[in-house]
Structure 1
């Protein structure tokens, strides 16, 4: 038996250029409006056997607003950014340009004092690999875009640098099928079509 894990990207809490590392801000009005616009399309995912979310306020609020009543999963938290927590990339670059360059170039580095990109990808991958198949074949998880990018890099066994080339939009869905260490990316259809759990 295989699992089908559908990730739903949390609605936004700020404009793209104002995104902050480990952002704990709640949904902004634009995020709430976006959830209301797509709720009918994403509501069928509530039929999943298991429903989870990242611990961030916006992930929990997105899951609740979509009727998922998700269980918080600490392993689905954003990358631990140490002293850069709460900063934008531009702010971190202004304060520590060489450290940011090192972090972007080497997935094993953690000049900010938090997790390296490799540690982050491994943590999210470990969560994927420990989903018990016998607990249910369909899982939905509302998560931060960074978490979904990490899950895709892990599942596809892609080089860590691929992380920077994956664009995950708010309220988009991404489905992985398979089981521990054997995952496939699944495309569910064109935008606007009902989501399937």
Structure 2
């Protein structure tokens, strides 16, 4: 059997348009309520052999609230956004429209003085590739949606622009199975016979 890494999206994430770059805010009351609402469903993941989380407060709080007692991994931090840290995409666009356009168009660009999208995807991918190679090892990682999008782009060897087309919702989960350089996406859910059969 292959290594299985299940990513759980941190609670409290809003739509991408209202997300703040490198958001360091802790979970608010609504976020804690959401964690409590899904805790029973996600609690079995606490039995994973290894439990990790992003260093940001929402990911740490979500992991703790789900009973995972996760170990913080710096490699799972959000994309370094330089002078745009704490801004929404709309705020950055209002201040530096040409720079935002360049950043969205070129995955190698880092006009904000931080990390490029390509560098971010590689960093998260390197973390994924260095997980323990033992067969049947189960890993859970609570992370921001941006980190999970980067991991999926890397695992699927998709073009970097694919990052913008992946929607990761608060407290959703997705798994990848395999080992370094050979990952497959695993869709979670109940198996049922399609209605068209």
Fold agreement, TM-score > 0.5:
yes
Partner in structure 1 of residue 122 of structure 2: 122
CA contact (8 A) 2:83 2:112 kept: yes
Cα displacement (A) at 1:172: 0.2
Deviations 1:94-138 (A, max 9, x none): 000000000000000000000000000000000000001239610
- Contact conserved, 1:122 with 1:154, CA < 8 A, in 2? yes
Match of 1:71 in 2: 71
Cα distance 1:53–1:106, how it changes in 2: closer, same or farther (>3 A)? same
Aligned to 2:158: 158
Q: Is the 8 A contact 2:14 2:170 kept in 1?
A: no
Aligned-CA RMSD value: 1.6
Partner of 1:193: none
Q: Distance in 2 between matches of 1:181 and 1:18?
A: 33
- Indicate the residue corresponding to 2:132 in structure 1: 132
User: What does 1:52-131 align with in structure 2 at a 5 Å threshold?
Assistant: 52-131=52-131
SS at match of 1:91: helix
Tell me the distance in 2 between the aligned counterparts of 1:116 and 1:24.
20
Deviation at 1:17, TM superposition (A): 4.1
TM-score by length of 2: 0.93
Q: Do the aligned residues in 2 keep the contact of 1:107 with 1:161 (CA within 8 Å)?
A: yes
Task: State the SS of the aligned residue for 1:18.
Answer: coil
Once superposed, which parts of structure 1, at least 4 consecutive aligned residues long, lie more than 6 Å away?
A: none
Partner secondary structure for residue 7 of structure 1? strand
Number of the residue aligned with 1:49? 49
Distance in 1 separating the partners of 2:83 and 2:19: 16
TM-score by length of 1: 0.93
Matched, 1:141 2:141: yes
For structure 1, which segment, 33-42 or 127-136, has the greater mean C-alpha deviation from structure 2 after superposition?
127-136
User: What are structure 1's unaligned runs of at least 5 residues?
Assistant: 191-197
SS at match of 2:134: helix
